[in-house]
Structure 1
């Protein structure tokens, strides 16, 4: 639909279009109010989940791709300096935290929901906190400013996954698309084999990386300069606050939405690197990360929702590039749909492998030996 528009038009369109993140965030209270007096109150609790994973994949196909890249000489320097894009992403923080607290109140006090509706509410809120909250947090933790670093840590603390702030930057980006990275899924590995290892490793590796950093400063791991301690204390304060305000149901809600959000993050990790790997060189080191080591998805709609997260190939090659100037590369491996559609496929391993395995083999055509035992799922 937009593929033939001039690049300058697309950049102007997206400058406004990034505000689409408000749709799922406001979709939470809207679904609550639309359920008032409805005979299908439980069904309304699933509205956001249904739209994200049912409607958005279809709209991705209809709206189509966005091939426009900002010009490196004329556009990028100017766009990098515009505080508008930074303000836009920072605006998500109060909206998301406000939505989360209000949603906890609704979970406890709305009597029209049975446990079925309450489950749908947790899934919907967790989807928003994972898709929008963690995506924006991911943008922040790659930046140098203390404000953005703290904003990213706060959003991650709100879903009890502060370790991502350390492990993603110092672990995943170092070892991406190698057997050493728990966030890079192997060729033939199912989502359900991937997730338990990702949960465990990404938590423990965050502590190991932070302990290593402190050791270089001759400090013990359990030290006040261990940033993970700060963020997990904030998660504990969130939990305490929900407990005092809403009782045990508030605790259930907060932990439930956290689990949904962090699981959504790990499913996206699974999608982003499935079957791709960096070649090991003669000196024993892996080749430098480049845009061929991540799956790219250039569907316009979900890229607006996710602040260009789907231009993941460019992000891994140039991690500090801001979301508004991330580029599409034609020679990167390409996903057949946006992340929402790919997540739906991933939860059904036979469908996932039927769609993705031929793409992996085609990408390594002529050098199938690259799919060695070390790259295959055990």
Structure 2
């Protein structure tokens, strides 16, 4: 639909289009208000998660792709200098936290929902906190300013996954697409085999990396300068606040949305690197990360929702680039749909392998030995 528009038109369109993140955030209260007095109140609680994983994958095909890249010499410096894009990402934080607290109050006080409606509400809120909250936190923790670092950490604390702040930057980006990375899924590995391993090792890896950082300064791991202690303490304060304000059900709501949010994150990790790997060089090191080591998805709609997260190939090759200037590479491996559709596909391993395994094999055509070695690791 937009594939033939000139690059500068697309940049202008996306400058406004990034505000599309407001739709799922406001979709939460909207689904509640539409359930008031409805004979199908439980169904309305599932509205957001249904739209995200049922409607958006179809709309991705209708809206189409965005092949436009900003000009490196003229447009990129101008875009990076605009504080608008930084403020846009920071603006998500107060609205997301307000939505989270309000949703907890609705969860415990709205009598029209059975457990089915309550489950749909938790999953819907967790979807917004994962899809928007963790995506924004991912953007922020890669940046140097302390405000962005701390704001990204706060969003992660709100879903009890603060270890991502440490492990993603210092672990995943170093070891991506190698056997050492718990967030890079192997060829032939199902989502359900990947998730437990990712939960465990990413948590442990974060503590290991932070202990190593402190050790280089001559400090013990359990020291007040260990940032994980502070971020997990904030998560504990969130939990305490929800418990004191809304009781045991409030605590259940907070933990439930957090599990949904960080599970969504790890499913995205599964999708982003499935079957891809960096070759080991003669000196025992792995080749430098480049745009070929991450799956790219250039569907315009989900890229607007996710602040260009799906231009993941460029992000891993140049992690400091801000979302508004991330590029599409035609020669990087391409996903057949946006992340929403690929997440649904990953939930069904036989379908996932039927679609993705031929793509991995085609990508390594002529180097099948690379693929077999990757499968054995």
Q: Would you call these one fold, judging by a TM-score over 0.5?
A: yes
* Counterpart Cα distance in 1 of 2:35 and 2:117: 10
**Other structure's SS at 1:372 match:** helix
**Other structure's SS at 1:39 match:** coil
| Residue pairs, 1:123-272, within 5 angstroms | 123-272=123-272
**Other structure's SS at 1:371 match:** helix
Q: Is the 8 A contact 1:273 1:295 kept in 2?
A: yes
Q: Is there any run of 5+ residues in structure 1 with no aligned partner, and where?
A: none
**Other structure's SS at 1:84 match:** helix
Q: Is the 8 A contact 1:64 1:300 kept in 2?
A: yes
| Residue pairs, 1:10-21, within 5 angstroms | 10-21=10-21
Which residue is equivalent to 2:284?
284
| Residue pairs, 1:337-352, within 5 angstroms | 337-352=337-352
RMSD between superposed Cα atoms in Å: 0.6
Question: What number of residue pairs does the alignment pair up?
Answer: 377
* Counterpart Cα distance in 2 of 1:115 and 1:58: 29
* Counterpart Cα distance in 1 of 2:314 and 2:371: 23
Q: Is the 8 A contact 1:137 1:152 kept in 2?
A: yes
Q: Using the TM superposition, give the Cα deviation of residue 371 of structure 1 relative to its aligned residue in structure 2, in angstroms.
A: 1.0
- How big is each residue's C-alpha offset from its partner over 1:274-303, in whole Å with a ceiling of 9 and x where there is no partner? 000000000000000000000000000000
Q: Is the 8 A contact 1:107 1:253 kept in 2?
A: yes
Q: Using the TM superposition, give the Cα deviation of residue 372 of structure 1 relative to its aligned residue in structure 2, in angstroms.
A: 2.6
* Counterpart Cα distance in 2 of 1:160 and 1:82: 32
Which residue is equivalent to 1:95?
95
Which residue is equivalent to 2:311?
311
Does 2:122 match 1:122? Answer: yes
Q: Is the 8 A contact 1:291 1:316 kept in 2?
A: yes
Does 2:367 match 1:367? Answer: yes
Following superposition, which runs of at least 4 residues in structure 1 exceed 4 angstroms of deviation? none
- How big is each residue's C-alpha offset from its partner over 1:113-172, in whole Å with a ceiling of 9 and x where there is no partner? 000000000000000000000000000000000000000000000000000000000000
Q: Is the 8 A contact 1:189 1:377 kept in 2?
A: no
* Counterpart Cα distance in 2 of 1:160 and 1:218: 28
Which residue is equivalent to 2:358?
358
Provide TM-score, normalisation by structure 2: 1.00
Q: Using the TM superposition, give the Cα deviation of residue 377 of structure 1 relative to its aligned residue in structure 2, in angstroms.
A: 6.2
* Counterpart Cα distance in 2 of 1:35 and 1:201: 41
Which residue is equivalent to 1:376?
375
